[in-house]
Chain A
Amino acid sequence: MSLREIGAVTGIGETDYMRGTDCTALSLQLEASLKAIADAGLRPTDIDGVIPYGHGAVAEDFITNFGIPDLRFSATTPMGGASAVAAIQCAIAAISAGICNHVLLSLGRTGYSGGRIGTRVQQMPQFRLVGEFEMPSGAIAPAQLYAAMARRHMELYGTTSRQFAEIAVNTRRHASLNPNATMRNPITVEDHQSSRMISDPLRLLDCSLESDGGTAIVISATERARDMKQKPVVVMGVAEGHPDSPSVITQRPDLTTLGLAKAAPKAFAMAGVTHDDIDVAEIYDCFTYIVMCQIEDLGFCKKGEGGGFVQNGAIGLGGRLPVNTHGGLLSQAHMAGMNHIVELTRQLRGEAAAQVVDAEIGLVTGYGDMGDGSVAIMRRG
């Protein structure tokens, strides 16, 4: 038994993305959820499963606000930025088991106006070891912990900061085409190189945004999706993967390999497609280097060749593999990758602001919690 083609994305919803809001994260999450449910042509009471992103709304909030009479399934997938795509697997597993029909995945956050994401790590239980043994030495934020992964890649493979810049510049170019992106002014490689150093080798323009907003999707049983309001976007393959030494990066045997390397072959095998079939890729981009590393771990090139892969327009519109066509976490908004799922859905519906011509099959990844990975491969229905 496999989850291949069992579920489809049938609804997407986004609030305006902002850097500054008076709204609560809960209200943003519910607003986006209502939009996704309406987009699917459903009523809120049709939702019978919820997988909210961690640290936000809980199942009770949806029952209370939407009057859901018979919620049959609720779960969380606590994998940081890998949660949203991992939740696709969880939703389809629940649908496949016959537990529920329409699962709402949603996120709301006030990362700009509320507590900054970068400094919340110390309060999270999965980082207890980092908290006890590394934070007292000043190793506190993801930017610092991931910087050592990027440095190792540079030392082993000759990867350069200018190659990281290619990712930042490309992503901003895509954001400039997206009315719902918060950072739309184009940047150059030189802008990147002169941006201030955060934790060497990661500069300010290697880092994602802190944002306010909400994002949601609805996953439905594919057999029901055919009769729904939107053309379904069918999930062909999906998987999650956890790295060795998941909670402490410095203990990892290979600093340059993420959990995604374990998930990707499973997702491709389930989908029955090859890398050449992928028309567009929305790749979790908390930091530029993490995009490059995932391109390798997905198998689009060999380990160590990611720096060369991203150059010369290969990841732009019209390139070999258009990446983060919405502007990503780097330039659209940090919605923990839920916005990447929304964008892939738009691309495969043919409705994206920066549309890849004739996009039929694409993939979306999640990355988080120091190396967890998730990936879904989807096709237009």
Chain B
Amino acid sequence: MSDYTKLTPQITPDTKPYWDGLNAHKLRLQRCTDCGKVRHYPRPVCDACYSMRVEWIDASGHGSVHSWTTTHHAFHPGFKADLPYTLVSVDLAEGVRMNAQLRKLDPAELRVGMPVRVAFEPATDGLTLPVFVPAS
């Protein structure tokens, strides 16, 4: 743990099932137990019906590219060795969006709507991060 210099999440009881899911190589999303609306990132209240009752579903992991950026400047020393790296915003099949690094694709080939799927990368003890790879 001590030699991991990147930023790490401050995990709370509200969000722990998400991070536990990533460690098990599952992408878990919150679904409102009352109205069924899926939401992300994890938070306490459903903005459609204000219910605080929630269940966690395993997402398909499939989605399409919404936008992206390739970063060439180290805004934090922990990420300097990774430069350049590409962040993609992805519309998941479940109707929510998320942001993660891109793998296994030249960013010059990225297009809006390109199909991608989630993959999982162990980062440090007890922390797995999502990444996106081409769907095919």
A200 within 8 A of B: yes
Asked if A143 and B127 sit within 8 Å, CB to CB, the answer is no
Asked if A199 and B99 sit within 8 Å, CB to CB, the answer is no
Q: Which of B54-92 contact A (CB under 8 A)?
A: 66-73, 75-76, 79, 82, 85, 87, 89
Contact of B89 among A133, A148, A202 (CB under 8 A): A148
Asked if A151 and B11 sit within 8 Å, CB to CB, the answer is no
Inter-chain CA distance A48–B69, complex, in Å, is 47
Asked if A133 and B9 sit within 8 Å, CB to CB, the answer is yes
How distant is B16 from chain A, measured CB to nearest CB, in Å?
A: 11
Asked if B43 and A129 sit within 8 Å, CB to CB, the answer is yes
How distant is B90 from chain A, measured CB to nearest CB, in Å?
A: 9
How distant is B100 from chain A, measured CB to nearest CB, in Å?
A: 5
Asked if A199 and B66 sit within 8 Å, CB to CB, the answer is no
Asked if A144 and B127 sit within 8 Å, CB to CB, the answer is no
Asked if B11 and A140 sit within 8 Å, CB to CB, the answer is no
Asked if B67 and A255 sit within 8 Å, CB to CB, the answer is yes
Contact of B87 among A144, A149, A155 (CB under 8 A): A144
How distant is A205 from chain B, measured CB to nearest CB, in Å?
A: 13
A185 within 8 A of B: no
Asked if B9 and A200 sit within 8 Å, CB to CB, the answer is no
Contact of A199 among B9, B70, B96, B111 (CB under 8 A): B70
Asked if B98 and A138 sit within 8 Å, CB to CB, the answer is no
Q: Which of A102-126 contact B (CB under 8 A)?
A: 118-119, 122
Q: What residues of A have a CB within 8 angstroms of the CB of B70 in the complex?
A: 197, 199-200
How distant is B61 from chain A, measured CB to nearest CB, in Å?
A: 16
Q: What residues of B have a CB within 8 angstroms of the CB of A155 in the complex?
A: 67, 111-112
Q: What residues of A have a CB within 8 angstroms of the CB of B112 in the complex?
A: 152, 155-156
Q: What residues of B have a CB within 8 angstroms of the CB of A147 in the complex?
A: 69, 71
Q: What residues of B have a CB within 8 angstroms of the CB of A135 in the complex?
A: 7, 9
In the complex, per-residue mask of A189-215: 1 if CB is within 8 Å of any chain B CB, else 0 = 000000011111110000000000000
Q: Given the known A-B contacts A136-B6, A136-B7, A137-B101, are A152 and B66 also in contact in the complex, defined by CB atoms under 8 Å?
A: yes
A residues sitting closer than 8 Å to B (CB atoms) are: 118-119, 122, 129, 131-141, 143-144, 147-149, 151-152, 155-156, 196-202, 248, 250-251, 255
| Contacts beyond the supplied A140-B79, A197-B72, A200-B71: 8 A-B pairs with Cβ under 8 Å | A131-B9, A131-B10, A137-B130, A152-B112, A198-B73, A199-B73, A200-B72, A251-B97
